[in-house]
Amino acid sequence: MPRLDATLEALKQWDARACARLNRAARLRPLAALFRGVSWLGAGIFWYALMLGLLLAYGAEAALPVAHMIGVGITCTLLYRVLKLGTLRPRPYEVHAHIAAGAAPLDRFSFPSGHALHAVAFTLIALAYYPALTLLLVPVTALVAASRMVLGLHYPSDVLAGAAVGASVALASFSLA
């Protein structure tokens, strides 16, 4: 057990150091503003606009993909809330004085990143139906995920876990469709 404890402690330290390094980018005002904007869009606005845009561009043909995205979004939100309340992990800026909050959090706890969770889930669903959106959605998803660490709101492990949960829900949804 001591070896496992040492490994977990090393991972925890790496997580904090990586978050602190990424958070330094928020000291540059233009980068902080960019990532605040990306984070704000990634809180739902971009994804709702995407769904509306698909409906406007493709009409009834987009009804199934948009319904699929909504169903996955609801499932992700419920799962995310259960995980947040089950882990109660404090946010990096609350634990480490050298990590600054670059934006107000949407909720109290850090694990997992709901932004990353939803971004990955919505991207996988949208790309399954509209692969031509890859050059738009993959960079947006990466920026949303990065924004959470740059803004000091999540550790890399929060973002990776959120992405894994989002991908799992999205991929599982295809077996139900």
Amino acid (one-letter) located at 120: V
Mean model confidence pLDDT for the chain: 93
Residue with more model confidence, 3 or 56: 56
Could you tell me what percent of the chain has a pLDDT over 70?
99
Residue with more model confidence, 158 or 177: 158
In Å, how far are 40, 72, 98, 105 from 66, measured between CA atoms?
A: 21, 10, 42, 27
**What backbone torsions phi and psi does residue 6 show, to the nearest 5 degrees?**
-65, -40
Quick check: pTM over 0.75?
yes
Residue with more model confidence, 86 or 1: 86
When pLDDT is averaged across residues 144-162 and rounded to a whole number, the result is: 95
Could you tell me what percent of the chain has a pLDDT over 90?
68
Which of 65-79, 94-108, 158-172 is predicted least confidently?
Answer: 94-108
Q: What is the DSSP letter of 89?
A: P
38/40 Cα distance (integer angstroms): 5
When pLDDT is averaged across residues 90-102 and rounded to a whole number, the result is: 87
148/102 Cα distance (integer angstroms): 9
* Architecture of the domain whose range is 2-176: Up-down Bundle (1.20)
When pLDDT is averaged across residues 118-134 and rounded to a whole number, the result is: 98
Give the model's confidence band at 177: pLDDT under 50 very low, under 70 low, under 90 confident, else very high.
low
**Domain-by-domain residue ranges, the chain?**
2-176
When pLDDT is averaged across residues 141-167 and rounded to a whole number, the result is: 96
Instruction: Please give, one letter per residue, the 3-state secondary structure of 142-174.
Output: HHHHHHHHHCCCCCHHHHHHHHHHHHHHHHHHH
Task: Supply the DSSP string of 5-38, one letter for each residue.
Answer: HHHHHHHHHHHHHHHHHHHGGGGSHHHHHHHHHH
Coil, strand or helix at 2: helix
